[in-house]
Structures are given as C-alpha cells and as structure tokens.
A and B are shown apart, each in its own frame.
Chain A
Amino acid sequence: MFGLFKRKKSRSKDSPGRANHAPEDGVLSSSLAKNVQTMEEIFKDVDTLRSRYIENTHSKELRCRIFYFDGVVNCELINEHIIKPLMISEAKPSGGNVVINQIVQIDESKITDQFCDIVEAITYGNTVLFIEGQDKAVLLNTKNFSTRSVDEPDNEKVLLGPREGFTESMMQNLSLIRRRALTPDLKMKNKILGTRTKTKVCVCYMDSIVNRKALDELNSRLEKIDIDAVLDSNYISELTRDAPWSPFPTVGYTERPDVVLGKLMEGRIAVFVDGSPVVMTLPYLFIENFQSSEDYYMHYYYASIARLLRIVAYLLTISVPALYISIGAFHHEMFPLQLFISIATDRKSVPLPAAIEALVMLIVFDILRETGARMPSTIGSALSIVGALVIGQAAVDAKLVSAPMVIIIALTGITSLLVPKLNTSSMIIRVVLLLFSSMFGFFGYMVGISFFVTHILNLRSFGVPQIMLSRKLKYQNVKDSFMRAPWWQMINRPRFAADAVRQKNKGGSRD
C-alpha cells in the first residue's frame, strides 16, 4: 500500500528530443560573410539581435562584426572596450588570441568554432566577434541584465539575523554564498538542464563534509532529467524527489543565503537554479520542517520553546477538527458537562451535522487563505471584512454555523501558519483524519494517524531517512530537533554528514 508513494525506479531513458536546427550544429567558416549569414539564419525573426561591422583604421585586414542581444548587454562596455580598441588598435591580428590578448579589454573571453557555443553565449548576454579570415569566433563577456536588488524575502522574515535574500540571478546568489564561506572547500559545480531553456544549475556543497552518497544520488538523478524547460527549482525537485506521490516535502527550500550556508555546513547539498530565488537543500530531514533560521540567532531557550510550539501547532492543525468531531459525535462523555451543555446549546439550531459543517468550514477557510495569498494587496481589507465578519460573526448569528466550530476552524487555521513548510500535507491529512473520525471516532483518528506515521517513517530524502531512529537516545542526536541546544553543545553534525564533528577542540569540554 505504501508502495504508492515510492519512487518509480525506471525512468524512461530516451534520447533527448533536441530540436535539430541544421545551422546551429555547424562549425564556423573562415569567411566573415558566410558566418554572418549563418548567424542571421539562426536568429531569423529575432528582432532584438544587434550587429555591427567594424574596420580597423590602421590595417584594412582587420575587419570584423560583432553580434549581441539588445537589453542583456552593457552598451558602454561594447563601445569603449570592444569597438573602440578594434578600430584604433595597431596590433597585427593573426588570430583570435591576439584580439583577446592585445586589443579588446574584456575580462572573460573565449574562442570557439562551434555555432552552438555561440548561440548559448550570445543569448546569455555575451558579445560574439567574428573576424574576417578566421574560422573561430571570440565570445566576450558583456553581460548586464537587470536583476532585482538583494532584499529580505517576504515569506522568510526574521526579527534577528541576516536579512539578505536571493534574487533571480544565480551568479548573484552564488556570490552571496561565496562571501560567507571563504574556503576552497566550498564547491560549486555547474550543470545545464532543460533541452530548450539551457538553464544553468549549480550544485554547491562543502567537499569535506558532504554526504557523498546523497551527492552521487543527486548527480545521477540530475543526469536522468529530460525536460525542455526548467523555470524554478521546484521543477528539479519534483523530477528528482523520493516518494513522488507523498504530500510531505523531501527537499528543503529557502531564499536565504545564511540558511543555505548553515545547511551546507551540516553536510547538505544546495541546488541553485538560474532564474529562481528559491534554492533547494537536501537531504531533508522531517524535523527541518519545524526549524527556522532564527532559531540559531536567538536565545536557545526561546528557540527551543518556539520549536516545541511549532510541533504542538502541527499536531493541533491536523487533529483539532478530527478530535472535535470524535468527541462531539462518538465520545460525548469526554466533554466536561458545562462545556457539553454550552456546545449542545450552540449546535441545537444549526442545520448541518457537525462533520459536514467542519468539512465545509475547512474548505471555506482554505478558499479564504488562498484568496489572501493571491489577491492584489489593495483589496486586502475587503477580504478581511468578508472573512472575519461575514463568515465568522454573521454566519454564527444566522445560525448557519455554530460558534464552537468557528473557534475550531480558527485554531486550525492559525496553527497551520506556524508550520508553513508542511502546509500541503496538513491540508490533506486534516481532511482525511476528519473523514476517518466522523466515521469511527477516535478509532478512525488513530487509524489515520498510524497510517501517516508509518508513511513518514518510510520517507527518505536522497537515501537518508527523514526520521532517523536510533536505539539509544543520545543528547547529540536530539540537540537540534525538538529543542535547540546552545552553540557550545552543538558538537556533532547530523549523522549523515561525512565529517561528524563540528567543534573538534571542544570535544564536549562543557558538555
């Protein structure tokens, strides 16, 4: 039964369905005119392609043409450091190397004779330089596209700690990481995914700490990806995830460089995708759902209490409607008499049975939540009036809904916000548990809970079990789970890390 959630082992390994453009696969010729013609053929109907012909003032032999895309290049750089030197240089060009070494003043340059390289470079903001008589072209780095500035991510706000967040530019994101770890141990391996979009993907890890097995597993899964476009890291995470049908996340997401680095330092791997501010981290343990970056920046008592609250909130958000229905419809003796009378008085005039009432209210709440998340911010106040007054107060006054049910749904909703990473799963589990308990009371609830517990215990993230069970309860294994130990006690890394000891010289001196 649990096989439903297991990963399909065999993924089809057909050859990539690459679109075959004949001109793109060709090599350069030594005729400038012919190369220009090929370029125009490749980028037919692409009106943002710009091209300019340049002749050297000293030597008539140096004739060349540059191509670039408008909007993704730095025009000043092209004018001052490519066109100008090419026009006035006195060097005798005998090949691409001389042009790079003696004429143009550009930091990153490359020589190629393949049109496919040219296509890739020019679309990414480089400038291509064709020289008459050369069957090689020079690719010059003139990238300059607009990116968002680095600011605090909206859905990972913190009170204390670094406020930087990733942007859509991968290079900028990598720089945020690089700046925080000044060590060659931090590896960044580029990959290109997406048969059409050719998106750059970067796999980052600390070479001496990383879990090799997970890294190999990730690389082999990345190689199997055959998709035309990769627009966000979620594409990759879904294509590589374990237990594809499970509602629980098996990969972490973050928009914060400090979080990524914290995970790297625990032997995890980060996957950056160009064009997305969201970075994937793996392996992902179940307890990470309850962790927040702030935990490590605030006092450990506060952080520990906050974590316990999040765990309790998660249990509440999946259980409260189910428990209310169980007690209200099957185990009436469990209410204290006063509460029982007051709830019964409220329920007396409500038309729907409590279970259906709860189901309807849960759906209404999810609609409200989804609307709140997607709507333009200008109509927020209208929504809160409709939500709070109409659904809450007016519905109770009109006896469509009983007042205790509104409280139950409100509690469910508020607690779900405390654990946003598990929102998907709690939305589903909550309803399943509600259905089970409305049929069989506590028994149904327990059946549902045991089903989910079994499932969670079966979950793996890139070969690492999401819940690591141990025969013995050791302090170092739980120091960062339901509590956050003070830093001087954080001696070991998680068990899956290759280099297990974080504070070698401490060796538990204050433990």
Chain B
Amino acid sequence: MIKKCVCALLALVCALPLAGCWNYRGLDEMTIVVGIAVDKDDESGEYEISFEFVDLAKSTKDEGPKSKVIKSNGKTIFDAVRNAKKQVANKLYMGHAQLIIIGEKVALDEDIRAILDFFMRDGEYRETIHVSVSQEDSAADILDAEATDLTIVSMELVKILETDNKVTSSTAHRGLYEAYEIIKTDGTELVLPAIRLIKEGNESTCEVNGIAVFKEEKLVGYLSAEESKYFLFAYDDVEGGVITFPSSGEGEDDTTLEITNSKTSRSVVNKDGKPSVSLKVEMEVFLNEYAKPDSKFTTDEIAKLEEIAAKKTGEGISALIKKVQSEYGSDIFCFGGLVNKSDYDMWEQVKDDWESQFKQLEVQVEVKVNILNTAYLISK
C-alpha cells in the first residue's frame, strides 16, 4: 500500500516538469503589450523599440481600455525589450501583442530577417502577430496617433487589416509566421501592409495605405491602395471591395460594382521552354451605383457593362504586373512558386536565374465579370 502510494507520488513528481508553464503569474503582475514599433536611432545606431501597452490604471468600464506608449533603446531588439522593464513596474507580457510596425528606415536599411528572427524565436510572442511597415520616418509615430474607433491604435489597425480584403481589398495582411516563411521560400517575395499618418491640426490618425514591397530582405517600394487591389486579384486574395469604371468606356468613372465573390485561376504554360503565366479572374458582382438612371438594363447593356469592367480590371492587373516587373523586379505574386508547383522540371531550369526571368515573364490576364444583380429602380 505504502509502496503503491510512493510510486504514484513519484510518478506525479516526475511528470511535473512536463507542465511547461511553471510560474503562477497573476493578471495584475503584467504589463499587457498590444503593439510594438521597431525603429533605429540614427546617432547611436541602437534599436529604439516602442511599446503600446494597456494602461490598466486609466482603463474604465465606461470608456474602455486606454493605452500608453513607452520607448526603450538597446543594442539588439531583445536588449531594448528588456530595457523597457526599467520604466514599468511589471514585466512586459507579449502573449497578447497584436501588431509589429517596422519603421521605414529600418525596413530600407536593415535585414528584415534579423528583425523577425527575434519575434519568431522568443516564446512569448504569438506567431500570428501582424507585421506591417510604417510609411512615416518613425514607426513610433503610428503608435502615438489617436485611435478613431477603438481606444487602442494597435487593436484598431489589426481590425482594419483583418477585415480589409472583405470590404476594400486595399492591402495584404501577413502574420509573423507567414512573413517569415515567405522570406525563406524561393520564388516569392514579401509584401507587408503599409501604414501612414493622416494629420489634421495637432491630432493625427493612422490609415492603411496599400502595400510595402520587399525584395529579398529589404524594402524597395510601395503600391498604392488601387494597385494593391490589382495585386490581390493577381494573388487570388480578393473577397470583397469595389470596382469603378466609366460606363461609356472612357472618361470619368461613374459606375461602381461591388465584388461578392472573386476567384483567380493561376496557371503556368510552357512557351518554348519558358514559363508563361496565365491569370483567369472570375468575379461575381452587384451593380451598386450607376450614373444613368434611365437605363432599362437590357441584357445587352449589362453585357456591355461587364465587358468594360472586365477590360478595365484586366488592364489594371497587367499594368501593375508590368510596373512591379520593371520597377521592383520582385516576384511578390509568387509566380515562381506557381512554376515550382506546376512544372518542377522547368523550375529547376529557371530557378537560379529567376530574378531576371521574372522581369521578362509573360503574363496573360483574362477577366470575366458577372453582374448578378442590378437592383430594380423604376425609370420613366
């Protein structure tokens, strides 16, 4: 009996280290960080990290959570993170951090792999934490901005990023693990959402403004919100958003289509031993705004609208791909990966030379717009 008891207790004791989380850490013993901005001090060359954390003392039930920003310097990122403890009573808790904002300067000068490396390696950060690039000089400015809707800027930005491709399709959001994986993978390049400030008098709010394009590990440029939409079409990541176009085929845009469903079939064709990519976009849309109130919406007229919309979108996608090919030379569309997947032998031939191959890659774009619904408004 005693022997059995001792055995059972020993087994329990042996199993204890398996628990992983060893320490009791009360909720009141932590500073909850929600957003992190990574900058570099020009003079000293040290990292300057800003943390937006929940200010529990000021948060109330009525007004919601409030946040505060502190800045700390360090020779490395982790050094700076630890130095932040000098300013706060409780240890920083990163388990609920939502957003990493990388300053433009850091993104231009530093190897982004080195920055993401720490966040991947450290156990406390979630791997789903969003990574973005600030278009301002200092990423810390973004955290200092006022939130418009929620009370904490980082949470607001994350919400904006996560719902973007369902409503506006103006940016691409990447989690930390995705960003890290893309950097490590051949045949594709990283894009991150770009964030800028809108200043009005003394107050400034922030806005998601298209996409930051990386080549290998450095920032090379941006895509505007409009271009980002075409990027998403090419990348097959559109779930919503609108398309505007002139109903007569030229002139000012006066008609709006709301995308309800969009699918891009991406395929690779072998053209004389060289890869050529074909994109077939098929989308279902509602007609939401139309400048000709007297229209009867005959089948012909709808077909015409569909054609104009398809043409405009197709041109937009092609123009964007051209721009990226010539200006940035960075395969953000993951065409290399597509080749790799569909024709491995061909990929083996072109992969060493993919950077120049991508610049000359032929891309056929075909768009099909299907207007499902025009809404019925009585005309005279």
Contact = CB atoms under 8 A, between A and B. Distances in A.
Q: Is chain B found bound to chain A in the same assembly?
A: yes
Interface of A: 1, 3, 328-333, 335, 337, 340-345, 347-348, 350, 353-355, 438-441, 443-444, 447
Contact of A332 (B5, B15, B59, B93): B93
B96 interface: yes
B8 interface: yes
A343 to B, nearest CB: 6
A361 to B, nearest CB: 16
Nearest to B158: A337
A330 B138 CA distance: 35
B96 A353 contact: no
B293 interface: no
Contacts of A341: 32, 54, 56, 59, 65
Interface stretch (B18-26, B112-120, B194-202, B325-333): B18-26
A330 B25 contact: yes
Interface in B126-163: 126, 155
B4 interface: yes
Interface of B: 1, 4-5, 8, 12, 15-16, 18-21, 23-28, 30, 32, 34, 54, 56-57, 59-61, 65, 93, 95-96, 98, 126, 155
A441 B26 CA distance: 12
Contacts of A353: 24, 26
Max chain B CB contacts within 10 Å: which of A348, A353, A443? A443
A330 B1 CA distance: 34
Nearest to A404: B27
* Most chain A beta carbons < 10 A, residue from B16, B24, B57: B24
Given A3-B4, A344-B54, A329 B24 contact: yes
Contacts of B24: 329-330, 353, 355, 438-439
A340 B126 CA distance: 15
Nearest to A325: B24
A331 B96 contact: no
Query: Which 8 residue pairs of A and B lie closest in terms of their CB atoms, listed nearest first?
Result: A443-B19, A330-B21, A333-B95, A344-B27, A347-B27, A348-B56, A1-B8, A345-B59
Nearest to A328: B27
Contacts of A328: 26-27
A440 B24 CA distance: 8
Given A1-B8, A337-B155, A344-B54, A332 B25 contact: yes
Of A3, A335, A340, the most chain B CB neighbours within 10 A belong to: A340
Contact of A440 (B19, B27, B57, B126): B19
Contact of A340 (B8, B12, B32): B32
B28 A347 contact: yes
Given A332-B93, A441-B21, A337 B34 contact: yes
Contact of A3 (B1, B18, B20, B54): B1
Given A329-B26, A350-B28, 17 more contacts: A1-B5, A329-B27, A332-B30, A333-B96, A337-B98, A337-B155, A340-B32, A341-B65, A343-B27, A344-B56, A345-B56, A347-B26, A348-B28, A439-B24, A440-B19, A441-B19, A443-B16
A461 B24 CA distance: 40
13 contacts: A331-B21, A332-B30, A341-B32, A341-B56, A341-B65, A342-B61, A343-B27, A344-B30, A345-B61, A350-B28, A354-B26, A354-B27, A440-B19
B28 A344 contact: yes
Nearest to A326: B21
A353 B21 CA distance: 17
A337 B96 contact: yes
Contacts of B4: 1, 3
A440 B18 CA distance: 10
A235 B206 CA distance: 74
A354 B5 CA distance: 31
Contacts of B60: 345
A348 B57 contact: yes
B62 to A, nearest CB: 12
A347 B20 CA distance: 25
Contact of A344 (B12, B20, B32): B32
Contacts of A347: 26-28
Nearest to B126: A333
A88 to B, nearest CB: 75
B326 to A, nearest CB: 43
A354 B1 CA distance: 37
A497 B20 CA distance: 48
A329 B56 CA distance: 17
Contacts of B56: 341, 344-345, 348
Given A3-B1, A341-B65, A354-B27, A443 B20 contact: yes
Contacts of B27: 328-329, 332, 340, 343-344, 347, 354
Q: Which of A330, A354, A355 has the most CB of B within 10 A?
A: A330
Nearest to B93: A332
Contacts of A332: 25, 27, 30, 93, 95-96
Contacts of B19: 440-441, 443-444
A3 B49 CA distance: 59
Contacts of A348: 28, 56-57
A328 B93 CA distance: 13
Given A328-B26, A330-B25, A443 B18 contact: yes
A67 B163 CA distance: 94
In this complex, the member of B5, B23, B28, B98 whose beta carbon has the largest number of chain A beta carbons within 10 angstroms is B28
